[in-house]
Amino acid sequence: MDKDLLGNPTTGLERDVARLYGELKALSVREDAPPCVARNARKALACLWQAANDLDLSFEQLYDLGV
Amino acid sequence: MNTPYWNPKNETMPREALDRLKLLKLKRHCEWAIEQSPFHRRKYEKANFHPNQLTSLDDLSRIPVMTRAEWMACQAEKPLFGDLVTATRDQAIRYHLTSGTSGRQPLRVLDGTKDWEWIAEMWCYGFWGFGVRPTDTVFFAFSYGSFIGFWGAHYCCEKIGSLVIPSGNMTTENRVRQIVEMDVTTVCATPTYALRMAQVARELDLDLPSSRVNKLIVSGEPAGSIPAVKRMLEQQWGAKCGDTAGMTEIGTIMIFECSHQPGGTHIIEDNFIEEVVDPETLEPRPYGEEGERIVTSFGRGFIPLIRYRTGDLVMKVPHSTCACGRTGDIYDGGIRGRCDDMKLIRGTNVYPRAVEAIVREYGEIDEFQIVIWRKDDVQDEITVKIEVKPDLDVDVYELLPRMGKDLAAAHEGLRFNVEAVDHQTLPRFELKAKRLVDERGRA
């Protein structure tokens, strides 16, 4: 992700947050994940959603992922 | 990173960029509401509103306002939660409800996992901004029931990394003892209950000002921003007192006082749009004029709250009023009361907060109550009952008329009856105080 929601260039830290956020989203929908992975991944995703929201990297709802 | 801001990027964002961010979130949130909530879809269709009409924040007025009555009606029509919610009950992790005071139907709210992260996050803006850090020990004088209260603040402090002490159903005595014993540095309570705890500490010969408590964070009542109450709290606790305010309808706080204590509370503007309007016409009120606040919250997706009429009275002033560097505007004096708080006594408007501001100037007073009654079925009367601190040598005969005079002077000469009552005869409160009793119209 090169730009934030306002079109400003992202920093290295922001790119790391965005990447991790995307990875957690993908992990949350893995059907082969046992409960200990699936539920903790969702919990972590909720936290990263907050960081991505705070840094204006993403603004979306995640209820369809159970978050 | 050592910073006074929880979110430096957005808390110090230039106003022009902040407005663009709010507009972007507003459009997306309206789109989400239309797609997922029949309540909003119906409402917006009726008003011929579509999110693509939003080209600047000046277009806000195109969105119809939402009221508590509409919310209650939709819950009554489709129990339990109405058709306002955007997701299913299975997708929620928590249920809370409003207290349902005044005989009103309580509002029922559901939230998902990320909603609770957000609820805690808003408190983080406030607690970090007032100086709470991982090294703090934070005590919550709160009963942890279905009322949402300080739940979010509890999670905020866990997120910050502070040591959290929940006090659940402890007695007031046990609470103050634990605050001293555990070297608590930060106490969270309503202003009324913080005063009550200080009173009990005195009775137990516990010296709170000598304790480790250095921050008192209050919420739930307008009193937290009344200067006389704040002074009293700071003296009795020997700690800085910071005000915050929120509401069950949004699940968290939307304003907080920063460590600079500018005499008001910063709006968390990257997560809320706060409008101040004329309660009759809904026309915007400029900086420096009191009006009703209307809130739009971006955090809670389960229940989109868009242009919700709160009934709170506020006065917005520019962010530059405070030197902290935040660009979020300020509500001078926090929440100043409720639009429906006003009582008309013989042609004069009386607000409970204004009475409290005067009564609290008297350090000798422990507790008070305002009683409005009707004399001979004809004339409205207002009586302020006061309890004087028991351990003080106070000339009550001098104090009562002096307070009556001060109250009259602040209310266009309206005559107040001021009566002293025995100590411990007036009610005490743990959460929001109800110090006004209107006996008119009672059988």
Are B17 and A6 inside 8 Å of each other by CB? yes
Residues B173-213 pLDDT 10s: 999 999 999 999 999 999 999 999 999 999 999 999 999 99
Are A5 and B86 inside 8 Å of each other by CB? no
Provide the pLDDT for residue B101.
53
- CA-wise closest residue to B129 among B325, B336, B318, B287: B325
How many helices (H) and strands (E) in chain A?
2, 0
CB-closest option in A46, A59, A67 to B28: A59
Residues of chain B where predicted confidence (pLDDT) is lower than 70: 99-103, 442-443
Provide the pLDDT for residue B223.
86
- C-alpha torsion sign, points B173, B176, B180, B182: positive
Are A67 and B114 inside 8 Å of each other by CB? yes
Provide the pLDDT for residue B344.
86
Torsion of CA A13, A15, A20, A26, to 10 degrees: 170
Domain membership flag for residue A5: no
Q: Is B14 on the interface with A (CB under 8 A)?
A: no
* DSSP state at residue B24: H
Provide the pLDDT for residue B106.
87
What dotted CATH number matches B343-438?
Answer: 3.30.300.30
Domain membership flag for residue A31: yes
Residues of B in contact with A63 (CB under 8 A): 86-87, 91, 112, 301-302
Q: Is B24 on the interface with A (CB under 8 A)?
A: yes
Min Cα distance B214 → chain A (Å) is 29
CB-closest option in A49, A59, A63 to B87: A63
Provide the pLDDT for residue B434.
86
Residues of B in contact with A62 (CB under 8 A): 112, 114
List all residues 6 or more positions away from B284 whose beta carbon is below 8 Å from its beta carbon: B61, B275, B276, B277, B278
Q: Which residue of A has its CA nearest to B118?
A: A50
CB-closest option in A54, A55, A63 to B301: A63
Residues of A with CB under 8 A from a CB of B: 5-6, 42-43, 45-47, 49-50, 53-56, 59-63, 66-67
**Residue span of the structural domain in which A43 resides:** 12-65
Q: Which residue of A has its CA nearest to B23?
A: A6
* DSSP state at residue B345: E
Query: How many distinct structural domains can be found in chain A?
Result: 1
Provide the pLDDT for residue B392.
83
Give domain limits for chain B.
Answer: 1-338, 343-438
- CA-wise closest residue to A50 among B14, B248, B301: B301
Are B87 and A5 inside 8 Å of each other by CB? no
How many Cβ atoms sit within 10 Å of the Cβ of residue A64?
9
In chain B, what is the straight-line distance between the N-terminal and C-terminal CA atoms, in Å? 63
* pTM as predicted: 0.90
Residue A14 pLDDT class (50, 70, 90 cuts): very high
What dotted CATH number matches B1-338?
Answer: 3.40.50.12780
Give me the residues of B, 59-98, that contact A with CB < 8 A.
Answer: 86-87, 91
Helix (H, G, I), strand (E, B) or coil at B309: strand
Are B113 and A6 inside 8 Å of each other by CB? no
| A21-25, A53-57, B62-66, B107-111: least confidently modelled range | B107-111
